[in-house]
Amino acid sequence: MGEYNSLQNWQTKIKMSVKKIGRVTIGAHAYYSGGRSSEGPSASVDFKVQAMSWSDIPGESCHKLFKDELTAAIEHMKQIGPEPKIGNYTGGSDSEDYKAKYKAYKAAGDEYKLKRDSITNELKNRCDEKYDNEFANTIMRIRTAKHKDVFFYKRNAYCFDRPDYSDEEMLLQIMDLEDEERRKFERLRNKFSKAEQEEKSGKRPAIPEDVRIAVWRRDEGKCTKCGSRENLEYDHIIPISKGGNNTVRNIELLCEACNRSKRDNIQ
Q: Which of 264, 267, 235 is nearest to 252 (CA)?
A: 235
**216 half-sphere exposure, CB direction, 13 A CA radius:** 10
Terminal C-alpha separation, the chain: 33
Q: Which residues contact 90 (CB under 8 A, 6 or more apart)?
A: 97, 98
Burial of 72: CB neighbours in 10 Å, binned 0-12, 13-18, 19+: middle
pLDDT at 187: 81
CB 159 within 8 A of CB 19: yes
Alpha helical stretches, state H, the chain: 2-16, 59-65, 67-80, 96-134, 167-201, 209-218, 256-262
Q: Which of 120, 101, 119, 97 is nearest to 109 (CA)?
A: 101
Q: Average pLDDT across each block of 10 residues of the chain; the chain has 267 residues. List them in order.
A: 42 63 88 67 86 70 87 93 77 77 87 94 93 83 78 88 84 88 82 62 74 89 89 87 86 90 59
CB 35 within 8 A of CB 96: no
Distance (Å, whole) CA 196 – CA 210: 19
Domains contained in the chain, CATH given:
15-143 (no CATH), 192-266 (1.10.30)
pLDDT at 118: 95
Q: Which of 105, 104, 101 is nearest to 92 (CA)?
A: 101
pLDDT at 55: 64
pLDDT at 122: 95
Q: What φ, ψ does residue 222 adopt, rounded to 5°? A: -145, 160
pLDDT at 192: 67
Instruction: For residue 109, give the amino acid letter.
Output: G
CB 178 within 8 A of CB 185: no
Distance (Å, whole) CA 131 – CA 55: 20
DSSP type of residue 83: P
